[in-house]
Amino acid sequence: MAKAKEKLTSDTFLEFTLVLLITAVICLIGNLIYAWAAARGAGPVDWAANFVQSVPGLLILCGISWVGLVMGAAIPGPVPSIIWITVIGIVLSVPGMPTSKYVIDSTSKIALLATCTPVLAYAGVSMGKDWAEFKKIGWRGVLVSGLVMFGTFFGSAIVAEIILKIQGII
């Protein structure tokens, strides 16, 4: 059964804002760590410059996410927030749009792994919260879930390997 849409209240706005700000801070820390790791052996890292370059991209990503979450909660119908977030992000960055150069330049300063960390942490917390429900699935569900994760990981790795070889990167 589909989950009912959340009502749009001031608490919802506050929750969206707080979660996105926490995520942005974690992404910023991750981006600074990524810059440090990438520069190992190449010299000192300019922390202030990396911080200043990262903030506009993070604010853009948070803004897109916030607007998409609000639209998902406010607009009736079966369209989830992730669709709104994706559409907004695509529209703002499609070549020919006045915003595309700035959005692409700003968000390219954010390391992909820095954004994956909070998302994966949230997924882990969500999984832990529903652990009782997960246990009700039984061993067959655990086996299928494990195989799906295994297959997705190795399938993605194989596709990435092929594409990187075709491009001559590896």
Helix segments in the chain, DSSP class H: 10-38, 47-74, 81-93, 100-107, 112-129, 131-137, 139-167
Q: Summarize the confidence of residues 91-120 as an average pLDDT.
A: 88
Q: Which of 74, 65, 53, 56 is nearest to 20 (CA)?
A: 65
Residue 2 domain flag: no
Q: Are residues 64 and 125 in the same domain?
A: yes
State what percent of residues in the chain have pLDDT above 90.
Answer: 26
Mean pLDDT of the chain: 83
How does residue 2 score in pLDDT terms, banded at 50, 70 and 90?
very low
How many distinct structural domains can be found in the chain?
A: 2
Q: Is a pLDDT exceeding 70 seen at residue 67?
A: yes
One-letter amino acid identity for 91?
V
Residue 1 domain flag: no
Residue 4 domain flag: no
Residue 58 domain flag: yes
Q: Are residues 17 and 79 in the same domain?
A: yes
Confirm if 57 and 110 have CB atoms less than 8 A apart.
Answer: yes
Q: Is a pLDDT exceeding 50 seen at residue 10?
A: yes
Determine the pLDDT at residue 131: 65
Q: Are residues 122 and 72 in the same domain?
A: yes
Q: Are residues 97 and 138 in the same domain?
A: no
Q: Are residues 106 and 64 in the same domain?
A: yes
Q: Are residues 141 and 109 in the same domain?
A: no
Q: Which of 140, 23, 11 is nearest to 73 (CA)?
A: 11
Q: Are residues 42 and 80 in the same domain?
A: yes
pLDDT single digits (tens) 121-167? 766 666 666 667 767 777 777 788 778 888 888 888 898 889 888 98
51 vs 83, residue with greater confidence? 83
CA-CA distance, 138 to 151, in Å (whole number)? 20
Instruction: Give the structural domain span for 158.
Output: 131-170
Q: Summarize the confidence of residues 83-106 as an average pLDDT.
A: 94
Residue 107 domain flag: yes
Cβ neighbourhood burial of 100 (10 Å; 0-12, 13-18, 19+): middle
Determine the pLDDT at residue 41: 66
Question: Model-level pTM greater than 0.85?
Answer: no
